[in-house]
Amino acid sequence: MSDEPLDPRDNTELVGQGAAENSFLQAWDSGRLAHAWLLTGPKGIGKATLAFRIARFVLAGGNDSAGGLFGDAAPATLVMSSDHPVFRRIASGGHADFKLIERGWSDDKQTKRKSEITVDDVRDVGSFMSLTPAEGGWRVVIVDAADEMNRNSANAILKVLEEPPKRALMLLVCHSPGRILPTIRSRCRRLTLPPLSRDTVTELLRRHHPELSVAELQGLAALADGSIGRALSLHEQGGMDLYGAMVGLLGSLPKLPGGALHDFADRIGRQAESVALFGELFAGWLAQGALRAAGGPGAEVVAGEADLQRRLVARAGLERWTALWERISSLFERADAVNLDGKQVILNAFLAVEKTCR
């Protein structure tokens, strides 16, 4: 199977988020459905998939049941067959009462998306939601993702939320709620999806990649922090090999091997995506070391890394180690923002750990 999970608009399955689905169904059955919902949680756990399930359900009038706002029998599920006409039309972008807002294309060939959702992307949302539903039911808008809106587009969405039209529903997928306007948050019902369990991520990975060994599945699941999207991305980018090489270099501390370090930094530092992945893994490893030193749990991805982390944190002291983690996290954020030299950033990160552990 592909490393990419199914596009949410084509996905019939949502695993591990039954509580969130039930929360929406209860609201639907109550007859007092909030006009806007903020679906929050880490990336890659099913927020957009849930948003599309809700959209299909609402536009089908509760999966063609007489429940919720339309009668007495409460619908029991958001599940809809991919053969259902509403499912097919939403997936193809052909439903007159549905609109998806996402980052627009930065080029005419549509090979790369813009870095943010602009006001041009949301300009007609207000008029769309104010129209009488073409099929006599509801109008539904999904914003994926709300934390990618810039100030102007966020203000445009806020105007719609301030005077919500009747029988219009807005679903805002959001990875980082702190990045959106408080006035938007306050006008939405918040539905928080938790990270997936490690067993769930492992099982989903196995479905996508039955060729992976048990150790590889468990290692990717441990690094994924409850996100099947992240687990698949890590596999696609060679995250396990990168992590193993990184831990191997750190294992030589308190003195790093200069030649091997420069070879590693030269190889990884050539591509911005690899540098960003390394930054995530490196900062995560430092954070995990602090947790282990404080007695926290955590599965090993590389044999012996737990003892290595405890040894290094003991040499540096927990306070200095925590300050190191904050400094390294800031270093990679800066590198991404201003396009610093990847090789040098990687070298600086390793050398900062070496200095701290002397």
Under DSSP, is residue 20 helix (H, G, I), strand (E, B) or coil? Answer: helix
Residue burial 206-244, b: 16+ Cβ < 10 Å; e: rest:
eebbeebeeeebbbbbbbbbbbbbbbbbbbebebbebbe
Q: Can you tell me the distance from the alpha carbon of 63 to that of 69, in angstroms, rounded to the nearest whole number?
A: 12
Task: Please report the pLDDT score of residue 65 as a whole number.
Answer: 43
Q: What is the residue extent of each domain of the chain?
A: 18-192, 237-356
Q: For domain 18-192, give the fold.
A: Rossmann fold (3.40.50)
Task: Please report the pLDDT score of residue 345 as a whole number.
Answer: 95
Dihedral sign computed on CA atoms, order 17, 19, 21, 24: negative
Q: What is the 3-state secondary structure (H, E, C) of 274-341?
A: HHHHHHHHHHHHHHHHHHHHCCCCCCCCCCCHHHHHHHHHHHHCHHHHHHHHHHHHHHHHHHHHHCCC
Sequence-separated (6 or more) residues with CB below 8 Å from residue 151? none
Classify residue 78 by burial, with Cβ atoms within 10 Å: 0-12, 13-18, 19+.
Answer: buried
Task: Please report the pLDDT score of residue 74 as a whole number.
Answer: 61
Task: Please report the pLDDT score of residue 2 as a whole number.
Answer: 41
Q: Is the peptide bond before 265 cis (omega within 30 degrees of 0)?
A: no
126-131's contacts with Cβ under 8 Å and 24+ in sequence apart are: 126/156, 126/159, 126/160, 128/99, 129/160, 129/164, 129/165, 129/168, 129/170, 130/165, 130/168
Q: Can you tell me the distance from the alpha carbon of 297 to that of 146, in angstroms, rounded to the nearest whole number?
A: 33
pLDDT in tens, the chain (358 residues): 444 457 899 999 899 999 999 999 999 998 889 999 999 999 999 999 999 999 999 999 886 543 444 445 567 789 999 999 999 999 999 999 999 999 988 888 788 888 899 999 999 999 999 999 998 899 999 999 999 999 999 999 999 999 999 999 999 999 999 999 999 999 999 999 999 999 999 999 999 999 999 999 999 999 999 999 999 999 999 999 999 999 999 999 999 999 999 999 999 999 989 999 999 999 999 999 999 888 877 778 999 999 999 999 999 999 999 999 999 999 998 887 777 899 999 999 999 999 999 8
